[in-house]
Structure 1
């Protein structure tokens, strides 16, 4: 390993602190604001809650884990479904219950240790579900990239599709031909290039920017104020099972971050603390009207390149995110990003999510000559991507990604031939 420039508890000088924290904020901002754009939430609230959630996470982990929490892509489809079913408030309630699951799992790990959860969520279950997350929303990305709304209907538009392709090309070039921190911000750079191109072809509308004030309070969504707090079985089965995926993602990130920083975060401060911090971040986000949170690989990548692991730099990035969320003009500019640009970047991003699931199968050398593995992966993929649904009544159903995750866990537990391989065995 290369020599550390700043260890976890070391503080940079003030001038470096500001620059390094801004770098971390820009590394995560593209993906963090993309999620609310796709599900109908406020980008300002997403940015605000990402900063708050990160600070809460750092406090819960006793300033020992330098991780940034941003918007989770795993909940895009569940939030969209929950919103159609019972309004955006339903999605926020669902997020809170996901946080409750994190709390329960954290408590169990605290009492019994982490080995059991590693066995319940092996790569053969987690990887196909991750693939479903990316592939299930692929049609959404393509429609956003290539169509515009005319009288409520999606109509193909070549001009807008060109903006999507320019955005996609810029992100790919950033990934393939640049090194260092630039290569870790393909989403942000792709959106910026696509936005500039959209200005040249005349598809930008700056009406919102002109009307916006420089300082604005984000649009909060508060339970009991902006929506009625009603819990339904359907809501719970739409949102809660996705915790299977995000908990697995959390474990993977902790293992990778531990390798980068050369510390064992599973043992100290403990997986129970990091999961609790992640869960509390998601709870606070849901209470304020933001999307569920997850630790971000982009920021882990920044640390790996810079060899600066200071938790104070991460906290600085969180503070910047909070401050930026109150800049009305900036948030208004974000809302002027054309749908085609978001669609173009989504094509790459959703594909990368799906490919990361495939990579997990390769990294763990999952044997598809083994009929057991073949059955589990096949069922998860078809049920999840196909949107299979079990309807118990007119108001209670389980479907899509949630059903795929549940079936995957059940098949892994009941089918003979289960091995002891877990996520902890190998994570790149």
Structure 2
């Protein structure tokens, strides 16, 4: 932990400190933010730009009172892939836009009625297993990227060695590095894996040589280029995921409140932070970027540096937006071998799944009780197994979305609801956070 002087939320650090801390926040979110568009076949440059612009919108909506950076959301990876097969990337972006609207609706309801009703329908026994589904459901994607030649499914020992080396560097970085460097193991893994892949001769630098120094990112404007009639199937895939990410958002706000020592749930209010998250997601969707969400890595940077300045967060956002227009940098990202991304994904998707398990443990959920066992088991099998309900020719509720809905329904209809809230609610400490 750094012993330097704490810098407040609305303080402007000296330029050299401002630049240093802004770069740290950019590094903290960089690896994960470019991985999401890489997996769903969107532009990493657009993802960087939209995350920066979304963060600036978030800071504006929260009145410059919450120092949080927003990056690409992993919860939407599988839904975006599914939605893209139906309506192309433009259709997936419209689905993301609708998810952002859900954020806005929930924000209005919280403003009017408080957050209690939301926490009652989203207990840890529902949210935890759904988060596990998000990670475990992508396990096959990670292994395919790590082992096989892209597009052919043919096994390659060379590529698998690249993935294993990448994974090893990431694990060692996470385990042995301390302080700020311990927060960016995925970035170290990507860099180390890239170097090894170059040594193994699997990288082609031709796109970098051919790229312009400066280039406009490949923005997608879905409401202009998407010609088919609206597809309710896409909405059914994308919208329910917002329920889970909203719950994650609340948890992040509680952790951030404890780190900074201010109750952001009360001031500027959960409704404002949720609205900011939703608007950031809608901004990303109209540009062709993945949905945005708050990042635990950036909360970790705040905890280590004790620099809570929103001007630092804004600086990181501006740097990300600027970086998106460097054509050779965008081309360099595109040359990262799939096996490298597969290597970091093995750990990253496992961490996501494990965080769902951690939620159950931290909230004191008794898995020996029939109620909790039934709800969690049903969510896991339906979500990972790929079950779906064909509502009509255009509407299909599948996978993670179906698992979320069924989990909520089971919680609401089964008796003894108090058993699913655990011995310690993940949100019960919000009143204890300093004003």
- Give me the TM-score of the superposition, normalised by structure 1: 0.97
Q: Distance in 2 between matches of 1:425 and 1:23?
A: 32
Quote the offset at 1:393 in angstroms: 2.8
SS at match of 1:154: coil
2:428 aligned residue (399, 420, 425): 425
Give, in whole Å, the separation in 1 of the partners of 2:244 and 2:163.
29
Match of 2:142 in 1: 141
Q: Deviations over 1:274-333 (max 9, x none)?
A: 000000000010011100000000000011111111111100000000000000011100
Three-state SS of the structure 1 residue aligned to 2:220 is coil
Show CA shifts across 1:107-142 (max 9, x none): 000111111111111110000000000000100100
SS at the partner of 1:398?
A: strand
**CA distance in structure 1 between the partners assigned to 2:229 and 2:296 by the alignment:** 34
Aligned partner of 1:242 in structure 2 is 241
Pairwise CA distance, 1:223: 2.4
User: SS in structure 1 opposite 2:411?
Assistant: helix
User: What is the aligned partner in structure 1 of residue 175 from structure 2?
Assistant: 176
Given that residues 163 and 340 in structure 2 are in contact (C-alpha distance below 8 angstroms), is that contact kept between their aligned partners in structure 1? yes
Q: CA deviation at 1:372?
A: 0.6
| Conservation of the 8 A alpha-carbon contact between 2:73 and 2:293 | yes
Partner of residue 111, structure 1: 112
CA contact (8 A) 2:94 2:223 kept: no
Query: What does residue 373 of structure 1 align with?
Result: 372
Please name the residue that 2:206 is paired with: 207
**Shift of residue 259 of structure 1?**
0.4
Please give the alpha-carbon distance, in whole angstroms, between the structure 2 residues aligned to 1:393 and 1:280: 31
Q: Report whether the alignment pairs 1:126 with 2:127.
A: yes
Q: Is the 8 A contact 1:221 1:227 kept in 2?
A: no
Alignment of 1:305 onto 2:304? yes
Q: Give how far 1:354 is off.
A: 0.2
1:14 aligns to what? 15
Say yes or no: does 1:231 pair with 2:234.
no
**Separation (CA, whole Å) in 1 of partners of 2:162 and 2:226:** 36
Which residue in the other structure is 1:65 paired with? Answer: 66
- Quote the residue 2:433 is aligned against: none
Contact 2:91/2:222 (CA < 8 Å) preserved in 1?
Answer: no
- Tell me if structure 2 keeps the 8 A contact 1:25–1:317: yes
Please name the residue that 1:342 is paired with: 341
Question: 5+ residue gaps in structure 2?
Answer: 431-435
Question: 1:406 maps to which residue?
Answer: 405
Aligned residues: 425
CA, structure 1 residues 208+308, in 2 after alignment: closer, same or farther (shift >3 Å)?
same
CA deviation map 1:185-225 (0-9, x unaligned): 01111000000000000000111111111110001101243
Q: Distance in 1 between matches of 2:401 and 2:5?
A: 41
| Residues 344-402 of structure 1: CA deviation (Å, up to 9, x unaligned) | 00000000000000001010110012111111000000000001011123322111000
Residue 362 of structure 2 contacts residue 426 of structure 2 at CA under 8 Å; is this kept in 1?
no
The Cα of 1:106 is off from its aligned counterpart by 0.3
- Conserved 8 A contact 2:72-2:291: yes
Matching residue of 1:382:
381
Shift in Å at residue 88 of structure 1? 1.0
C-alpha distance after superposition, 1:223-261 (max 9, x if no partner): 243322632221111000001110011001000000000
Separation of aligned partners in 1, 2:223 and 2:277: 24
- Return the alpha-carbon distance in structure 2 between the equivalents of residues 46 and 230 of structure 1: 26
- For the residue of structure 2 that corresponds to 1:395, the secondary structure is coil
CA distance in 2, matches of 1:110, 1:288: 29
Task: Specify whether residues 124 and 4 from structure 1 end up closer, same or farther in structure 2 by C-alpha distance, changes over 3 A only.
Answer: farther
2:276 corresponds in structure 1 to: 277
Unaligned runs of at least 5 residues, structure 1: none
1:267 maps to which residue? 266
TM-score under structure 2 length normalisation: 0.96
User: C-alpha separation between the residues in 1 aligned to 2:227 and 2:26?
Assistant: 34
Cα distance in structure 2, aligned partners of 1:243 and 1:54: 18
Q: 1:67: how far off?
A: 0.3
* Structure 1 counterpart SS, 2:154: strand
Preserved CA contact (<8 Å) 1:217 1:326: yes
Q: CA deviation at 1:423?
A: 3.4
Deviations 1:2-29 (A, max 9, x none): 8861111111101110111011001101
